[in-house]
Structures are given as structure tokens and as C-alpha cells.
Amino acid sequence: MVKLVDETDKKTLAVWAIDCADRVLPFYEEDYPNDSRPRKALETLQEWVETGEFHMSVIRGASLSSHAAAREVGLDNSARSAARAAG
């Protein structure tokens, strides 16, 4: 797996990550419909895939916000894991 990741371009990996996280994000959004931080993280990554523009502070901020959302849900494992996947 490590070799495959090392040999694959970053945008392809990003598309794969978005697809995977998007499949589980409903577990978060169903219980926390007013918290868009995980969705925003995926949208931020998708924007980079589409435009090629990369601002580390924006990407990192979106990722950290999604991980903060994961911490805030406590022991809700499915929601927490979904938010982490998005971040």
C-alpha cells in the first residue's frame, strides 16, 4: 500500500480520499446537521483538485477544524470517525 501511495500523484490520492470520506460523512451530518466543518474540509480539498491552487493555511485550517469537530462529538464513534476521515 505504501508503494502504491508513493507512486500515485497527489491529485489522484485527493480524489480517492474525498470519495472515501464522502461515503461516511452522512454519519456525521445526520447527527450534527448544523456543523459544516467536515463538509467544508472536503470542499476545500475538492477546490484544490479542480483549480490546482494550494494555500497551506486554508487547507490546514479546514483539516484542523474537521478534526476539532471530531473531538467535540465525544464517544459517538461513527460521527467522530467520519469527521476525522474528512479532515
Query: How do residues 27-78 score in pLDDT, each as one tens digit?
Result: 999 999 999 999 999 999 999 999 999 899 999 999 999 999 999 998 889 9
Distance, CA of 29 to CA of 34 (rounded, Å): 8
Task: Look at the chain and report how many structural domains it folds into.
Answer: 1
Confidence at residue 8, expressed as pLDDT on a 0 to 100 scale: 81
Structural domain including 37 reads: 2-86
The C-alpha cell of 40 is what?
A: 467544508
Q: What type of residue is 70?
A: A
pLDDT digits 0-9 by tens, 3-35: 877 788 889 999 999 999 999 999 999 999 999
Count Cβ atoms below 10 Å from residue 21 Cβ, excluding itself.
22
Largest interatomic CA distance in the chain = 39
The C-alpha cell of 74 is what?
A: 465525544
Give the torsion through C-alpha atoms of 68, 70, 71, 76, to 10 deg.
Answer: 160
Give the pLDDT band of residue 1 (cuts 50, 70, 90).
Answer: confident
pTM: 0.89
